[in-house]
Amino acid sequence: MTKSPEYASAARNGKGRVSAHAGISAQLRAFYRSVEEEGIPDRFLTLLEKLDMAERQVNNDYSVEDTAR
């Protein structure tokens, strides 16, 4: 596979790399933006609620032990 003279010139002077980085950066920003806009799945929210309840229970158990001394 031969590369065009423009590509070879851009690669030599670094412009090809810069434009490739700019393109990748733009695609990553668009992807991250789309992920941010997605909702949180109900199953994940349920798991977070269970974790919160378990942490509260552990904290309450420690509080009861501390006051019993």
Nearest Cα residue to 57 out of 67, 49, 45, 46? 49
Q: Using an 8 Å Cβ cutoff, are 19 and 10 in contact? A: yes
pLDDT above 70: residue 54 = yes
Q: Is 35 left (phi over 0), alpha (psi -120 to 50) or beta?
A: alpha
**And the tokens for 11?**
């690669």
pLDDT above 80: residue 2 = no
pLDDT above 60: residue 11 = no
pTM score, whole prediction: 0.42
pLDDT in tens, 14-28: 566 778 899 999 999
More confident residue, 64 or 1: 64
Using only the alpha carbons of the chain, give its radius of gyration. Answer: 27
69 confidence band (pLDDT: 50, 70, 90):
low
Q: Using an 8 Å Cβ cutoff, are 16 and 7 in contact? A: yes
